[in-house]
Structure 1
Amino acid sequence: MASYYFPLTIKDAMYIFNGDRFLDFIDTKKFKNDVAAEFDVSEEVNKLEFADYYSSLKKSYSAETIDFIFFENIFYSHLKNIYVDQILGHPNLQIDFFKEKVKKLIDKINIKDTIPAALHSYMSEDGFYLMDSLNISSINTTFIAGYDYNTEKGSVTSARFLFVEVVPKKIQGVDYFIAGIELDFTKNLVLTMIKNITELKKENNVTPTTTHQLHKTVVNKVLYTLGISLKEIDVKDDRKGMYDFCKYLDNALLEDLRTEVKSRTSKPIRASVDKLNKSLFTDDKSLNGIDKSDLNKKIQALLLSYYIEYNIKPTELVKKAKKQKLVGYPTRIKFTSNKSSRSSTQSSNSKQPVSASDMFHSLYFSFEQALELDNWSISWFTDYLFTDEEKTDVIQTTIYSTSKQFRVVFRPTRALNKEIIHYVIDQINSYR
């Protein structure tokens, strides 16, 4: 288990689970499996309704550990829109100084009439997990539901905050709009993880109803209060980095096939281009050397498309990527060419590389000359430690790069986990 300080938690004889609004953000089966990895829970308890099950756990086992598991399941299961920001400046990270900033944040956001006064004493700068005790329905109430931190040699190295805003639905009732905020001061990184909630009603001009708006709220209300400033997004560098990443994966997967097609077709293609040039153009208007070379490359790319279609199944490309220990393979690309034209192509699903698509190869010459990659999708092997060459299970992400944000969206409906999220973000950031 992680070495986070165990925060305050509620456990008493009158305890009642009150965290139903958070259940939309976890996978209960995964939660129970995570609990079972720590404690020997009877089958009788496992069959209880979740509220009774959770109450029984807290009465029988370490309440702090149970709440920690609940916290991480909310944090890393379905908050799949991840905004990645780099820290420019931060407060003094010595433990006492940092906790003073956190106390200021708690006083500003949590200590209010819409939060039960009986819970205020638990909301400590030392940390707390109160997701199971907070059932807030007052519209536009914001609060921190859980917070913990980690230290090394007297300084805070990381901290996590579960930020919630109560937002009205368009029809009736309210929803929790949640952002998991992870601060990594070692990597100077902020991850803001949000689940996209539909059918929210904008009560006033400040009510966030989109992930972009909630991310902005986090920056203004949480990070600013903590004294954390962010680097400006360098969209040109980000898009160049994503292009380099995508190009690397494409080359690693197809370089040998391109070499084979080129060695077997370069002479006849060159002869055909010369013949077509003479057939279509007069001597004073014939193709110049650069245009003939470009036409050669375009024809080779199209021939590679047919070569793959007739000889290699998409599943074989996936197995090849896994055998080569690639992190995954691109499934969709949207790019701007050096002639400022925009193009995009994609595979039929997350289990097929975009290189299995004939459209990709028809656009390959433009992609090779591209200036930047606006957004793209990649399927990642979940066996990222490469323990089993036959295991080709993947999860798909789409990466968006704009002048205002850098965002990674995890596409699968299944619950994620902390390890795969951190792995994916680390791999992507290595190219930024």
Structure 2
Amino acid sequence: MNLTEGAEDRAFRAEIREWLGDHLTGEWAALRGLGGPGREHEAHDERLAWNRHLAEHGWTAVGWPTEHGGRGLSLWQQVIFHEEYARSNAPAGVNHLGEQLLGPTLIAFGTPEQQQRFLPEIVAVRELWAQGYSEPGAGSDLANVQTRARLVSTGSTGGGEEWVIDGQKVWTSLAHLSDWCFVVARTEAGSARHQGLSFLLVPLDQDGVEVRPIEQLTSGSEFNEVFFTGARTAGDLVVGEPGRGWGVAMGLLGFERGVSTLGQTVGFARELESVVARAKENGSIDDPVVRDRLAELKVELAVIRSYALRALALVEGGQDSAAGGGAGSIFKLAWATWHRTLGEVAMDVAGRDGLLTRESGASYDLDDHQRLFLFSRADTIYGGSDEIQRNILAERVLGLPKEPRG
């Protein structure tokens, strides 16, 4: 991928910047900066309306092929879009899991019928999705899932079939606000590890599904427990072949390390700037240790962005695998550790003020830096823990022996 920004790319960047400047006004102006990790509870309905406004103007699913309702942007144009979106401080999206993860997965692995049923709804932001991967005994060890599904006859004259699902998922982001969930379940009796798993599409609004929000330190309940007790979904809503869902699940995780993550680095830069501004305001910038740590963070962030661009170029050029190669794991390790460190430095800069919260009714009200510190503690765990990323690099890239299992 050519990372040199030419005249056409600069014109495209200007187009996006102008459109966002024109539209993030009036009723939408108040949404600037709202949402995102640890803040998903903020103005959800209003952000949903904004996302549908984006869809009406063709600014959702920008990297999808045009035949599936996307804009068909090149990889570099997608980078430009996500960077400008983040730079404008536009509100966080409400359907990242549908647009960035499930949509590309259905394009790669889904049947034409599944694509026709679900992709238009994702593009238009009419149906929101959650991810049913982690379980109490299978967090980062996805192959250990115990949720089970069996195919049964509906008893109708047409001979229809349904999947009946029993089990529990946990840390299910935004399940309480979602319409559907893609679920990895064990569908072959007696199977173990990667074998016998299927990738199912399950409606959440049914009697067999209970969603219990998990209250977080940052306020709100972005994560949830989801209980399936005889939950049902149509027999044809399995992506890929039954029993071979592991490959589909891994393909989806490859999309998780996609181009949209580059927008994160713009948001990270804004957070760093706010910490620097606070250090100047309270005088902690005069401490040479603080000043050195802030300078390190700025340099490291520039390196992380450069590496992310290089990694995307490798994937685009076929020199690395988005699902199983090392580039995505290195990027996840780098940004997660960097962001957690930024939260720690933010508390050092805040000093004693970082220990105090503003009372607000029955709950406490965190400032941006306190929320950054608390939520970033999870960065090295969710989306694939540091330990899992290091195992991927050791086993798949360096060819080292697999970690022994007790």
Using the size of structure 1 for normalisation, the TM-score is 0.23
- Bigger fraction of residues in helix: 2
- Bigger fraction of residues in strand: 1
Larger RCO, structures 1/2 (Cα 8 Å, 6+ apart): 1
Give the number of the structure whose alpha-carbon radius of gyration is greater: 1
